[in-house]
A and B are shown apart, each in its own frame.
Chain A
Amino acid sequence: MKNEMPLALHIPEPKFRPGDHPDFSDMRLPAAGAAPRPDTHANARDTHPLVYDLIRVLDEAGQAVGPWNPKLDPETLKRGLRYMVLTRIYDDRMQRAQRQGKTSFYMTCTGEEAIGVAQAMALDRADMCFPTYRQQGLLIARDWSLVDMMCQIYSNSRDRLKGRQLPVMYSSKEAGFFSISGNLGTQFPQAVGWAMASAYKGDHRIAAAWIGDGSTSEGDFHHALTFAGVYRAPVILNIVNNQWAISSFQGFAGGELTTFAARAVGFGLPGLRVDGNDFLAVYAATEWAAERARANLGPTLIELFTYRASAHSTSDDPSRYRPADESKCWPLGDPVERLRRHLTALGAWTDAEHEALVEELTQSVRAANKEAESYGTLGTGPTVSASTMFEDVFKEMPPHLRRQRQQTGV
């Protein structure tokens, strides 16, 4: 039999390009409160309908509804709001610092603040996070010093990483924040190894890792799922689906064919797909997964469905590849505004209080920045001594590095 049909290749294409009017009305968005909440001790299979669903708690009116409502008290909610607002102001300040030439590079997490912040709050302070470059909210919600973060960005004399890392590639063991790698995805299986070690030692701490939708195509993503499942590592594996990997939409990572949460199914892991702009849903899902890990029930894969509202980085101009107003049309809204509306609906928050909060945090970020700049900025100094370049390659400096250090004359 002859096949008359010429074969054709499919090249994914996002729905909208610059100049198009973005219209997400055909997006299937399950109602808040509709997704069932299996017991944390449930079988992985019992979660599998949830990998295609979307766990949402906050409805359009700002009410918390359904079985996933974590029932947080207003004080905790206000703390969450505060960290999210702080993260946004911090991003804004640092982005401007880059524009002013005080550093080479910056990456904001605009539109994704609920992820870093809610997850940090749902985890224990001692749990170890293996983030990407877009979870600065983790450090902020762990009350890590903004000055310390800024000094890293400025590669200045107080940079704990001694000017070795690209700005935003923080590291703080003390804050439970693993050193960020520029090679995408590598942290995912490392988090599994850390979690395996914790289980091996009979520790109580669990690990959590984050990866972007684009980076799920990397082999390391699959290795992480294999090892996590095989050894039932106490780890939470988060995929931040913000729709875009620089200019490539999530279809190039296989997102046209299925959800990212559904990757859990083939590995036998429990999987949850969560509205990433819903502070309460993110909190609840993380809490669920953490409880499971702590009960020795192993890993959970979570897809956080969100939108990267600003540029990929300061080197990127998203209006070249997507409609400029696409983020405003994103049907799941802005995480900060949604939590604010919820607190207002609860009668626990007023516009005046919000304005005062923004003002207070703007001032504190400004003060932190002033202090950080007094320790130097990129190119204008002061910096740590260049001779530190030869330190930490090995625990003890070998003779050839000593000789090279002498040769530099620094």
Chain B
Amino acid sequence: MPAMNMIQALRSAMDIMLERDPDVLVFGEDVGFFGGVFRCTEGLQQKYGKRRVFDSPIAEAGIVATAVGMGAYGLRPVVEIQFADYIYPATDQLISEAARLRYRSAGDFTAPLTVRAPYGGGIFGGQTHSQSPEAIFTHVAGLKTVIPSTPYDAKGLLIAAIEDDDPVMFFEPKRIYNGPFDGHHERPVTPWAKHPASDVPDGYYTIPLGQANVVRPGDAVTVLAYGTMVHVALAAAEDSGVDAEVIDLRTLNPLDLDTIVDSVKKTGRCVVVHEATRIGGFGGELSAVVQEHCFYHLEAPVQRVTGWDTPYPHAFEWEYFPGPKRVAEALRQAVEA
């Protein structure tokens, strides 16, 4: 099986879907000739022609709106928003239109589009290239939200997202596009090539939306994480020596409640980790869900480790970022409580 980094795995997913389904189109800013600023779509226009893979005007609302119209016609557009930070101009089309089209037309019209957007910090992108807006979209009825943490998952989940008949927000952790992150920014970045999750089959496979993955079994505490933070959580478990069970949620909506509840009932403790700001973040939802379903099994309060409630500061990225030290501290607190 070839080793792929996440970018290659995502490209492979789009390649396969372009090949399999003539109704799949890929477009967005710079994705055609150039292959996207992160090169995710590199070579696809050459292979499939500019009718199927093309550049768009710099108008995120226009990109999503036309994708909604294409979806209503019966196509499956896959659009790229260059950075998740630039998704805000398109929010009305996502929240009021794509999310509700099936509902308001009682199934008459649907919007089976996939919106890919690199999110999160770790590349010193400043406030406007580092945000994690996932919670905004998990709050919207009718949208699915997916965030992979490995090349293997990225490919399987993206294929599933493209095949899904509902609109899917697909956030790509750009910090781990090229290699896993052990959370220690002072250490050199390791390439995905040496990581088992970079063994990615060439062909078609899917990972169903709505199924979490237990990436590290343990008995002392459950860690709920997604995207880049899965790697941080794994590092924290190693560093702290706490026997943590790390769950990669993979899909935030629909959420795999059973896997979460089973694990927390077993460990009796839970730490939630995400990179987005804390207030109103997805961690609040996770904490609430654990409290609702596992209250009598809990032996400690649910802890949240998140980004601070400030914009992402360029020069203080590593102070902002919830690294393994902060997560390890929370793990210790959880088990000692």
Contacts and interface: CB of A to CB of B under 8 A. Distances in A.
Nearest to A173: B108
A181 B96 contact: yes
A270 B25 CA distance: 28
A189 B105 CA distance: 18
Interface stretch (A74-82, A339-347, A357-365, A388-396): A388-396
B106 to A, nearest CB: 5
Given A179-B108, A183-B97, A197-B70, A393 B142 contact: yes
A219 B142 contact: no
B188 interface: no
A306 to B, nearest CB: 26
A220 B67 CA distance: 13
A223 B59 contact: yes
Contacts of A400: 254-255, 257
Contacts of B67: 193
Interface in B95-148: 96-97, 101-110, 141-142, 144
A168 B65 CA distance: 22
A395 B165 contact: yes
B59 A227 contact: yes
B300 interface: no
Find the residue from B56, B108, B255 having the highest chain A CB count within 10 A. Answer: B108
Contacts of A200: 25, 51, 70, 75
A317 to B, nearest CB: 28
Find the residue from B65, B92, B109 having the highest chain A CB count within 10 A. Answer: B65
B104 A169 contact: yes
Contacts of B109: 171, 173, 178-179
Given A171-B109, A179-B104, A190 B61 contact: no
B36 interface: no
Given A197-B70, A230-B57, A395-B165, A186 B92 contact: yes
Contacts of A190: 65-66, 68-69, 72, 97
Interface string A153-169: 00000001110110001
A390 B68 CA distance: 22
Given A193-B67, A394-B142, A160 B97 contact: no
Interface string B267-283: 00000000000000000
B75 A197 contact: yes
Interface string A112-130: 0000000000000000101
A176 B59 CA distance: 27
B73 interface: yes
B59 A226 contact: yes
A198 interface: yes
Nearest to B90: A223
A130 B109 CA distance: 12
Interface in A217-262: 219-220, 223-224, 226-227, 230
Interface in B216-264: 254-255, 257
B74 interface: yes
Given A189-B61, A189-B66, A219-B61, A179 B96 contact: no
A391 B70 CA distance: 23
Find the residue from B62, B66, B68, B69 having the highest chain A CB count within 10 A. Answer: B69
B69 A193 contact: yes
B70 to A, nearest CB: 4
Nearest to A186: B97
A186 B65 contact: yes
B62 A223 contact: yes
A191 B93 CA distance: 13
A392 B25 CA distance: 25
Interface residues of A, number: 46
A179 B102 CA distance: 9
Contacts of A191: 69
A309 to B, nearest CB: 29
A266 interface: no
A85 B129 CA distance: 57
A325 to B, nearest CB: 38
A192 interface: yes
B210 interface: yes
A172 B108 CA distance: 7
B97 A171 contact: no
A396 B102 CA distance: 12
B166 interface: yes
A176 to B, nearest CB: 11
A186 B166 CA distance: 19
A195 interface: yes
A181 B97 contact: yes
A193 B68 CA distance: 7
A223 B142 contact: no
B57 A227 contact: yes
Find the residue from B25, B70, B77, B101 having the highest chain A CB count within 10 A. Answer: B70
B27 to A, nearest CB: 10
Contacts of B102: 392-395
Contacts of A194: 69-70, 72-73
Nearest to B59: A223
B105 A171 contact: yes
Contacts of A6: none
Interface in B46-62: 51, 56-57, 59, 61-62
A399 B59 CA distance: 36
B90 to A, nearest CB: 10
A192 B68 CA distance: 10
B70 A193 contact: yes
A336 interface: no
Contacts of B25: 200
B284 to A, nearest CB: 16
Contacts of A173: 105, 108-109
Interface in A54-100: none
A223 B97 CA distance: 15
B62 A186 contact: no
Nearest to B113: A193
Nearest to B25: A200
A398 interface: yes
29 contacts: A130-B69, A160-B106, A161-B105, A164-B104, A169-B104, A171-B105, A171-B106, A171-B109, A173-B109, A179-B101, A179-B104, A181-B97, A190-B69, A193-B66, A193-B70, A194-B69, A196-B69, A200-B75, A220-B62, A220-B92, A220-B93, A224-B65, A226-B62, A391-B106, A392-B102, A393-B102, A394-B142, A395-B166, A398-B210
Closest 4 pairs between A and B when the two form their complex, measured CB to CB: A193-B69, A193-B66, A223-B62, A189-B65
